[in-house]
């Protein structure tokens, strides 16, 4: 560490005055002094006056990249000189690649893509190696460790690298490996916006991520800025909340109607009647009539109300009574009531099911327990308002 300097020393150096008690070599070998000089002068040429040791200083290079980030050619030259220097530590080089990659933008900074690609290669390599180490640990040790914990211990004094790994892992857990849309995930856990806001967007993200890596959760709780983009995504979900529910209801109504036609085309049903009447009888006890009225298409409703014998493909002529409307005795028959119950059960299951599947994947992914553990005991459900009905017997 060189002698202490003051603002007068910086001024004297920049204008070429005598330096009281300091030598030029000493000052030009001090990264903090050269940073202060550059902050005052905004002169890139000062970089050429720095000693080789200063040019190899990771903090100094990061300062230059950020300070002159609008001069692409200059910072690429600085970064390349640093990365290609055989005397620079390998991890320091990786940190600089990550740091400069943070300024990458498809439109403005596309020339920096090579650093971002290289950094991601470094990330993948480390994650692959450390995952293997984690699985080789005895069960007792693995329980008190995690992938991010190993990363923290390895790069304990390198915030740039830890932040980079944390952001990549969060992206994998919330986007890349999520077997549903981000909006589906939010709607799975919360029935309404007020409950979400009461719980807190950041708290929810930390809760969800804790099931993947509790040490990552702990790190993010201290550095919540790494979750800002996902909090903004939640804001978008909140703004689209009603539209999401409307789209969801429309899709579910269509599933119920398709199921009715599917049953009629494959099973015995000895009546020809108004299918819309059957649908209403099935959904009325569930409180779904308003939702169906809003979401059933005029075309589907017309088809269901028409007397169309071709729809009843599972019925033979001798068992087929052509009635546009059934009398009360026919409606009490075992075949009719069984069919109504079957449609009702399908509608109840369809409207109760949380939307957590992709169009390309019909299986629900493994997810942690709900935010509100009481929901697991819910039997009754208010389909109109999309919220559970509390069961006081639990």
Distance CA 44, CA 63 (A): 12
Judge whether 296 and 257 are in contact, CB under 8 Å. yes
**Contact (CB, 8 A) for 161 and 58:** no
Per-residue pLDDT of the chain (394 residues; tens, 9 = 90+): 556 888 999 999 999 888 888 899 999 999 999 999 999 999 999 999 999 999 999 999 999 999 999 899 999 999 999 999 999 999 999 999 999 988 877 667 788 889 999 999 999 999 999 999 998 988 888 888 999 999 999 999 999 999 999 999 999 999 998 888 899 899 888 888 999 999 999 999 999 999 999 999 999 999 999 999 999 999 999 999 989 988 888 999 999 988 888 887 766 666 666 778 888 888 888 988 888 888 887 877 777 766 554 444 444 444 434 444 556 666 667 777 888 888 899 998 888 766 543 333 334 444 444 454 333 222 233 434 444 344 444 4
Spatial separation of the C-alpha atoms in residues 184 and 241, rounded to whole Å: 11
pTM comes to: 0.75
CA-CA distance, 351 to 255, in Å (whole number)? 10
Tokens 């290609």 appear where?
84
**Closest to 147 in 3D by CA, of 122, 163, 175, 126:** 126
Distance CA 96, CA 60 (A): 11
Q: Which residue has the tokens 């599917």?
A: 262
Distance CA 60, CA 64 (A): 6
Question: Is the distance from CB of 2 to CB of 30 less than 8 angstroms?
Answer: yes
List the Cα angle 140/142/146 in 5-degree steps: 155
CA dist., res. 292 & res. 304, Å (int) = 13
């Amino acid at each position: 560490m060189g002698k202490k300097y003051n603002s007068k020393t910086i001024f004297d150096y920049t204008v070429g005055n005598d330096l009281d008690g300091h030598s030029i070599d000493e000052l030009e070998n001090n990264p903090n002094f050269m940073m202060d000089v550059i902050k005052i002068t905004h002169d890139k040429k000062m970089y050429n006056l720095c000693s080789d040791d200063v040019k190899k200083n990771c903090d100094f290079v990061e300062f230059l990249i950020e300070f002159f980030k609008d001069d692409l050619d200059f910072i690429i030259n600085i970064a390349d000189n640093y990365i290609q220097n055989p005397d620079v530590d390998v991890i320091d080089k990786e940190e600089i690649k990550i740091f400069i990659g943070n300024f990458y933008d498809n439109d403005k900074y596309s020339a920096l893509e090579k650093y971002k690609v290289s950094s991601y290669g470094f990330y993948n390599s480390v994650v692959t190696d450390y995952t293997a180490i984690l699985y080789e640990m005895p069960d007792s040790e693995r329980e008190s460790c995690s992938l991010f914990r190993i990363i923290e211990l390895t790069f304990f004094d390198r915030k740039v690298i830890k932040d980079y790994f944390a952001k990549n892992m969060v992206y994998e857990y919330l986007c890349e490996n999520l077997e549903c849309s981000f909006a589906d995930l939010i709607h799975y856990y919360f029935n309404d916006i007020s409950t979400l806001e009461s719980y807190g967007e950041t708290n929810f993200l930390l809760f969800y991520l804790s099931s993947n890596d509790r040490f990552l959760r702990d790190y993010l709780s201290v550095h919540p800025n790494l979750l800002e983009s996902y909090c903004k995504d939640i804001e978008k979900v909140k703004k689209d909340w009603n539209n999401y529910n409307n789209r969801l209801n429309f899709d579910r109504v269509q599933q119920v109607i398709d199921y009715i036609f599917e049953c009629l085309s494959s099973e015995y049903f000895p009546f020809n009647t108004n299918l819309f009447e059957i649908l209403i009888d099935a959904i009325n006890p569930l409180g779904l009539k308003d939702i169906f009225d809003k979401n059933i298409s005029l075309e589907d409703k017309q088809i269901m109300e028409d007397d169309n014998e071709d729809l009843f493909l599972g019925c033979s002529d001798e068992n087929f009574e052509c009635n546009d409307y059934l009398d009360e005795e026919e409606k009490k028959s075992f075949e009719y009531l069984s069919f109504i119950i079957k449609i009702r059960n399908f509608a109840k299951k369809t409207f109760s099911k949380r939307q957590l599947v992709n169009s390309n994947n019909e299986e629900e992914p493994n997810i942690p327990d709900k935010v509100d553990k009481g929901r697991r005991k819910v039997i009754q459900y208010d389909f109109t308002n999309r919220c559970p009905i509390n069961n006081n017997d639990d």
